Chain A
């Protein structure tokens, strides 16, 4: 650590100012979330009157009780869980299947250059919103949860990440298995995957967060609000203009949802799963970024 070498008066001043700035900056990240948390536990009257700052006023759990007894909310929660679990599993399966052969050199995978080009081109160009929408529409995935899982179920950035990780595995182990006559599939399952738990964990966690957080997919592919994931429901509630598209019966239920404490409770609830996987992700931040983008 180079920090121990400075001890002048000027340095002490610097240190105080530095800690001050960093603490303020950190608080700007923390306080908005604490504010929403406090509102979610406050009674509606105090919340609506903007009397709540960081400590709940009139502490109660009403917002959460309303939330968990609301069928639209519960549905959306299950949709989110389903797409996160199933979607991530499929992402992982496809990522491994693509990354392992591409991690081989041209001797083991002849034509590797062309094959990798085939997979890289979509990273550079895409058809964009409308042609993708028309395709999903054409193959009949509109209003199906699979529209949120199948398009883009091969995250190419993650393939690159995992491919680079596979390349880092000691070649002599793979060659020994190859000489013993093990098939490539056996090598992948019995040798490579057990050595790759770190990269599998990285891809899994990042994909889980991506699935949980995605709200745009359902706004275009799913018209039926009972099939929306949580984040899409949240978004639609905040954009009150769009509530007019709900049925009359739903509107009366949603009037409750326009309540500020209720909205806050939902924001908090949507944040909790990310908070839960966050400590596990932290270990993989640096490898996740540097392996994927910068290679020494």
Chain B
């Protein structure tokens, strides 16, 4: 990126018509993708304006509906359930981000200490796999396993633990969602750290060993400092997703009995908007979420570019 600004001075000497005759195909290639983005990304962006309207599909839709200012935002914030929905979103998202990252780092650290390449490869192959399964499949597997008579409760029964309603009690729903998300992603999340670990100079471990450092100190004083920049970078970037509590997972696994702790902004928007056709109200909530997420993402990207090696383009 930086070098391009230097070159533009020389480039502008060629007249645009000469240049365009040679390079028009580049613009031609961009035509279809640009139309796609315009229709399916920019039109919905403009559609956010229905958050400020009494949207009525019959009365002219986007252009014919009455402007009502912040009415729907006020309605949303005054809903009795709104604070708990916001809290659920934040709790589950932050829980998944922090615990998920810790799990991935610990897993990568342990795996990095394995000498046998065949064993290492097998572990990687199996633990990366759940990342590629949809929540429809994983939900299918675990609603069965976590039911009151499922395998997990049978196993707990061996220790005289009475059946736990993981997906049916407000006490257990949030931790269950966090643990399942970690189960799905810890292996995949470890890849970045493992990649960073391969860049650590092996001589560092040797000189540490000469100084008397055992394996644990090797991890503490060589491996962890070696991946610290990646840890910082990913932590900063994660700030952008603290309102993403995992829409597909929750939608797949929650039920009315656990709305109190399981309902998140996205599922609430889905139910209000698509099941109850409250278009303006749910768009207002979506708008609210998007604005916060955008501010967080931009801040996170700025911090990441400013303080770590992160580059987007």
Contact = CB atoms under 8 A, between A and B. Distances in A.
Interface of A: 1-6, 8, 10-11, 14-15, 18-19, 21-23, 25-26, 28-30, 32-33, 35-36, 39, 50, 53, 94, 97-98, 100-102, 104-110, 112, 115-116, 118-122, 124-135, 138, 150-154, 156, 159-160, 183-185, 188, 209, 212-216, 220, 231-232, 234-235, 238-239, 241, 260, 263-264, 266-267, 270-271, 274, 278, 281-282, 285-286, 289-290, 293-296
Contact of B7 (A10, A105, A289): A105
A2 B206 contact: yes
B161 interface: no
A186 B124 CA distance: 41
Contacts, number: 282
A232 B115 contact: no
A133 B274 contact: yes
Contact of A127 (B45, B141, B209): B45
B294 A185 contact: no
Contact of A29 (B130, B142, B143): B130
A184 B23 contact: yes
Contacts of A4: 115
B59 interface: no
Interface stretch (B76-84, B85-93, B170-178, B282-290): B282-290
A29 B214 contact: no
- For the complex of A and B, the 9 pairs showing the least CB-CB separation, nearest first, are A127-B44, A131-B47, A213-B134, A2-B205, A122-B41, A128-B286, A98-B33, A3-B115, A131-B44
Contacts of A131: 43-48, 50, 283
A152 B187 contact: no
B151 A115 contact: no
B90 to A, nearest CB: 18
A280 to B, nearest CB: 12
A103 to B, nearest CB: 10
A121 B285 CA distance: 21
11 contacts: A18-B114, A33-B141, A35-B145, A36-B144, A101-B27, A106-B5, A106-B8, A124-B298, A128-B44, A133-B273, A184-B25
Contacts of A26: 122-123, 126-127
B37 A294 contact: no
Contacts of B142: 32
Given A29-B127, A128-B286, A129-B270, 14 more contacts: A5-B209, A101-B26, A119-B37, A122-B41, A128-B289, A130-B282, A134-B57, A215-B134, A234-B140, A266-B140, A270-B134, A285-B128, A293-B192, A294-B233
Contact of A294 (B144, B205, B310): B310
Interface string B118-137: 01001101111110111111
A229 to B, nearest CB: 10
A129 B271 CA distance: 11
Max count, chain A CB within 10 A of own CB: residue among B40, B110, B282:
B40
